[in-house]
Amino acid sequence: MKQNTKTLSALLLALVLSLSLVLPVSAAESTALDEAARAVVNSAMTYGQAVQASWAVWQDGKIISSGSQRAKEDGGTEPLEGESPVYGAGSVSKIFTTVAVMQLAEAGKLDLDEPVVKYLPGFKMADPRYKDITVRMLLNHSSGLMGSSFASGMLFDDPTPTATAQLLDRLSTQRLKADPGAYSVYCNDGFTLAELVVEAVADMNFQDYLRANIFDKAGLKETYFPGDNFEARRADIYQAGDKRPLPKDCLGVVGAGGLYATAEDLASFGGALTRTALLKKSSLDAMAAPEYANGLWPEEDSPDALSYGLGWDSVEWYPFSVNGITALVKGGDTQYYHAGLVVLPEYKLAAAVLTSGGVSTYNEMAASQMLLAVLREKEDIVELRLRLPAAKRAEMPKELLSSAGYYGSLTVYQIELAENGTLTMRFPATPDFPPRVFYYYDDGSFRDGAGTSALRLVKEDNGQTYLYQWAFADVSGLGYLPTSNYAAMRLPENDVDPALQEKWNSIMGGAVLPMNERYSSQVYAALGTLLEAESGDAVKSAPGYIGSLRIVDETHARYELQVPGTGGRDGSDMELRRDGKGALWFYQSNGSVYMDMNAVSAISTGSEGKAACTIQPDGFARWYKVGDNAAGKTMTVQMPKDAGFWVYDAKGRIVASSVLWDDASAKLSKGGLIAFAGDPGARFELTFS
């Protein structure tokens, strides 16, 4: 089991690094830090294609560097003047939730190792093991929950906490994908449950609790909830290919990812976790403990981007950890905002990078480089090139041949093994992607021809075989990003009738439409990717599977993965149903409902160019195709309250939306789609001209 060691990794060249207490930086040093920060943020923006970014570095009680910049249309970036913009912090919100739970534990109002049901009697599941889930397991991602019950959880300019309010109902029909405590795999629902635990134990609204016990105590003046008024400060977000700013990005799961903040406030919050203003040192140390090591995890002693603590994504962040420095990291990604927070408790240092567009990992790496720049002002720091340890080509043991097969995670891999020690990796879902070839070495690994990445096939104590990956990415300007994790699990054989396999392949290859998303849902904005599949295009996967779902029968497919880290996140069982008209519906165990696009009928323009659409008692969205009779006409909509409409062209591009741009009419194109959504009973009056 990988442990939280202070020794150098065997993968690294010898490195001697001595760090003393870092003194406050001078004005000249601050200017140099500003320049270094701007450079690494430029790199993060370039790699992640961010449109805007802000950063802040906190040291021993004050912000020593901060700034904002945006991408120019002709390339490069330019500084942003004025007040610091406010961004969505995404999953960095989980650290706020963790602190709230730890405060209540310090006060003796809850025990991390007591079952969640002790504090939430209304929490029930269709799996008796749920009674074994402890509060600690919510915070270290080892609860065994499927992952994310996010239907109507990501909204535009709508702070309604639908997903949080409905979580207990949705969980009541779900099963667990693993025994509680078996392994840590990223789980949003665990933190939404933790939010509910805080409310129940503290007997107060979660937002009120955070304001009184975290925001105020940490001196945070610019940290917000989705319903707060900060529009004048909010960093703009955009739909790909469209220059019009979008409405506010609201997550209805605040405890899992819904907070907003400036970079200065987020860095200051990180700084507060190097002191005892919010928590006792024993609680801070408990958050920084290697919780991931309590369950299934690769035994390799090599750095990885993930090493879960309580709330933290990593408590062993490279390059600090291999040099005896505790570095705590949390990233956050919504559909439009991305955040990275890095904290060095021993040196009273913290840095935050927030972007509109982009990728949280690059933001984390940029924040790390800022902190390294502060350390370099006082110390000589030797950076080294990561590489695989020395090994030689060797004869492969014959018993490894039995490990060939299909491996599943967020995608499916086909692993072929030859007696000459060659491992070929294929990608069934993307057959045009060229296969990768690896060769067996005497340390038990398979390595690519360049010697930059390696794989192992590992039989674990739970009886499953895992595809372990081992690599180092040199991200110019941001440092190294190491990978050392279980990428996938070998899918157990599942023999099904070929006709049943073909039926599932064809069904899952068609385009689907969301049915139970709130009218303001961001799922409608992302619809284009759901429409790209042509009806009848077969999905290629492992025999007996559809993606990583095991085919059970004609109407049920079951999620089978047990992969720690992120490869086994956000699972869901699938049930197929036919309605009274024969239309095919897809019910996911996480609460999301979709319908086959082939079941959509053409919209009627009415005998006099007038028609109406009413949301039925089930609350499902109403979808229509644009046929010959409506193509080329302009549809004008008289909007009801608490409702919205979306219009798309034949390629799934948004033509008009009352939610995004307050549109009241749209020019319809043949083959396009129209969605009406709202509260039950909402009636849309339509005029066609």
pLDDT tens digits, residue range 612-651?
A: 999 999 999 999 999 999 999 999 999 999 999 999 999 8
Share of the chain above pLDDT 90, in %: 84
419, 504: one domain: no
Average pLDDT, the chain: 92
Mean pLDDT confidence for 264-273: 98
H-type alpha helices, 560-622: none
Give which of 306, 347, 443 is closest to 10, Cα–Cα: 443
405, 339: one domain: no
pLDDT at 539: 64
Q: DSSP assignment of 613-642, as one string?
A: EE--TT---EEEE--TTTTTPEEEEE--SS
41, 147: one domain: yes
In-domain check, residue 99: yes
Q: pLDDT for 185-238, tens place per residue?
A: 999 999 999 999 999 999 999 999 999 999 999 999 999 999 999 999 999 999
pLDDT at 380: 61
Residues in the chain, how many?
A: 689
448, 524: one domain: no
Dist CA 8 CA 11 (whole Å)? 8
List, in sequence order, every residue forming a beta bridge with 482; answer none if it has no partner.
Answer: 472
In-domain check, residue 78: no
**Between 7 and 141, where is the model more confident?**
141
In-domain check, residue 351: yes
SS3 of 39, please? helix
SS3 of 238, please? strand
In-domain check, residue 602: no
Dist CA 377 CA 34 (whole Å)? 13
40, 146: one domain: yes
Residue 276, sorted as left (phi over 0), alpha (psi -120 to 50) or beta, turns out to be alpha
pLDDT at 16: 26
328, 422: one domain: no
pLDDT at 529: 63
Mean pLDDT confidence for 498-510: 89
Find the CATH number of the domain harbouring 323: 3.40.710.10
290, 435: one domain: no
3-state SS record for 308-333: CCCCCCECCCCCCHHHCCCCEEEEEE
414, 518: one domain: no
Pairing relationship of beta strands 412-417 and 512-514 according to DSSP bridges: unpaired
In-domain check, residue 80: no
In-domain check, residue 16: no
Q: How many domains does the chain have?
A: 4
146, 58: one domain: yes
Dist CA 685 CA 517 (whole Å)? 21
Residue 672 identity (one-letter amino acid) = G
**Lowest-confidence range among 2-11, 161-170, 467-476, 564-573?**
2-11
For the chain, report the end-to-end CA distance as a whole number of angstroms. Answer: 68
Cβ–Cβ under 8 Å, residues 79 and 250: no
369, 406: one domain: no
Find the CATH number of the domain harbouring 423: 2.40.128
Read off the pTM: 0.94
Dist CA 514 CA 533 (whole Å)? 15
270, 233: one domain: yes
Cβ–Cβ under 8 Å, residues 251 and 88: yes
Q: What is the DSSP letter of 127?
A: S
Q: What angle do CA 617, 620, 622 make, to 5 degrees?
A: 110
Give which of 124, 259, 127 is closest to 191, Cα–Cα: 259
pLDDT at 241: 84
Pairing relationship of beta strands 412-417 and 479-490 according to DSSP bridges: unpaired
pLDDT at 382: 55
In-domain check, residue 386: no
167, 245: one domain: yes
Which contiguous run of DSSP H or E holds residue 93? helix 93-106
In which band, very low, low, confident or very high, does the pLDDT at 15 lie, cut at 50, 70 and 90? very low
In-domain check, residue 418: yes
pLDDT at 276: 97
Residue 198: give the domain boundaries: 32-73+85-376
